[in-house]
C-alpha cells in the first residue's frame, strides 16, 4: 500500500535541482509567504484560464518539499482540493510535492500536454485524479534568466481536452510571459 490509501505507486520524478531552486525562490521572495504579489499572480492565473478555456489554472512555485500556488484560478463554488484552496485563502495554497503533474514539468524542463491523463498509466495513478478529479493537464516550466526552473504555469480540467499544438504553443507563450513579469519584479526590488 502506498501513501494516500491507494495501491498505485507514486511516480514523482527525482528532482536534482531542488536546493538550487529553493535558494533562488527565497532570493526572489517567492513560494514562502502570502503578500501583495498574489494579486498579480492570481490575475495571471485568471488570464490563463480565460485564454485556455479551463476551469482551473495555476502559477506554481515548487521547492524541495511542496508546491505553492502563487496564482490560482478556480470556478466559483468549485469542489475538490483546488476549489478548497481558493476558498480557504492563501493558507490553502500548498500541495504535496508528489501530487499533480507540475513536478514532472519541472524536472523535464519542458511543456507537458496530457489530453486525458487516464491514457497514461504513469499519470493516471496520480492522487489528483481521484482526489480532485483532474482529467486533462497543460503545463510549461518557468525557467528564469539564471536557468533555474522555478515552477510551472498550468491549465487543468476535469474532462479530457484536445489541446493540440495550439494548446502547447499557448502554454509555452504564457510561461515566457510570466517569467518576464518575475524578472521585472526582481529588477524593481519586488
Grid cell in block for residue 112: 507537458
- Where residue 147 falls (left for φ over 0; alpha for ψ -120 to 50; beta otherwise) is left
- Classified as helix, coil or strand, 189 is coil
pLDDT value for 8? 46
Residues 134-156, mean pLDDT to the nearest whole number: 96
Report pLDDT digits (tens) over 106-138: 999 999 999 999 998 878 777 777 777 889 999
Q: How confident is the model at residue 7 (pLDDT cuts 50, 70, 90)?
A: very low
pLDDT value for 181? 92
CATH class, domain 9-184, is: alpha beta
Residue 65 has pLDDT above 90, yes or no: no
Residue 20 burial (10 A CB sphere; 0-12, 13-18, 19+): middle
Report pLDDT digits (tens) over 31-52: 766 566 666 899 999 999 999 9
Grid cell in block for residue 84: 478548497
pLDDT value for 22? 92
Distance CA 132, CA 12 (A): 17
Find cell 485568471 and name the residue: 46
pLDDT value for 83? 46
Residue 1 has pLDDT above 50, yes or no: no
pLDDT value for 54? 96
Distance CA 12, CA 20 (A): 19
Grid cell in block for residue 13: 520524478
pLDDT value for 82? 55
Grid cell in block for residue 102: 507540475
Residue 91 has pLDDT above 50, yes or no: no
Distance CA 110, CA 151 (A): 11
Distance CA 36, CA 46 (A): 16
Mean per-residue pLDDT of the chain? 83
Distance CA 145, CA 148 (A): 8
Residues 4-28, mean pLDDT to the nearest whole number: 74
Q: What is the DSSP string of 10-54?
A: P-PPP-TTHHHHHHHHHHHT-SS---THHHHHHHHHHHHHHHHT-
Grid cell in block for residue 34: 502570502
Residue 190 has pLDDT above 90, yes or no: no
Amino acid at each position: 500500500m502506498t501513501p494516500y490509501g491507494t495501491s498505485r505507486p507514486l511516480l514523482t520524478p527525482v528532482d536534482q535541482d531542488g536546493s538550487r531552486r529553493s535558494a533562488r525562490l527565497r532570493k526572489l521572495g517567492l513560494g514562502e509567504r502570502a503578500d501583495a504579489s498574489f494579486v498579480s499572480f492570481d490575475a495571471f492565473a485568471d488570464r490563463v484560464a480565460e485564454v485556455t478555456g479551463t476551469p482551473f489554472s495555476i502559477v506554481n512555485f515548487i521547492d524541495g518539499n511542496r508546491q505553492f500556488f502563487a496564482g490560482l484560478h478556480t470556478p466559483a463554488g468549485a469542489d475538490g482540493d483546488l476549489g478548497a484552496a481558493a476558498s480557504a485563502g492563501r493558507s490553502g495554497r500548498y500541495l504535496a510535492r508528489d501530487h499533480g503533474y507540475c513536478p514532472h514539468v519541472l524536472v523535464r524542463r519542458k511543456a507537458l500536454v496530457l489530453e486525458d491523463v487516464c491514457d497514461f498509466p504513469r499519470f493516471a495513478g496520480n492522487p489528483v485524479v481521484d482526489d480532485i478529479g483532474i482529467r486533462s493537464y497543460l503545463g510549461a516550466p518557468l525557467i528564469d534568466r539564471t536557468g533555474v526552473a522555478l515552477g510551472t504555469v498550468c491549465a487543468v480540467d476535469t474532462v479530457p481536452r484536445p489541446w493540440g499544438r495550439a494548446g502547447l504553443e499557448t502554454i509555452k507563450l504564457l510561461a515566457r510571459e510570466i517569467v518576464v513579469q518575475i524578472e521585472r519584479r526582481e529588477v524593481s526590488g519586488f
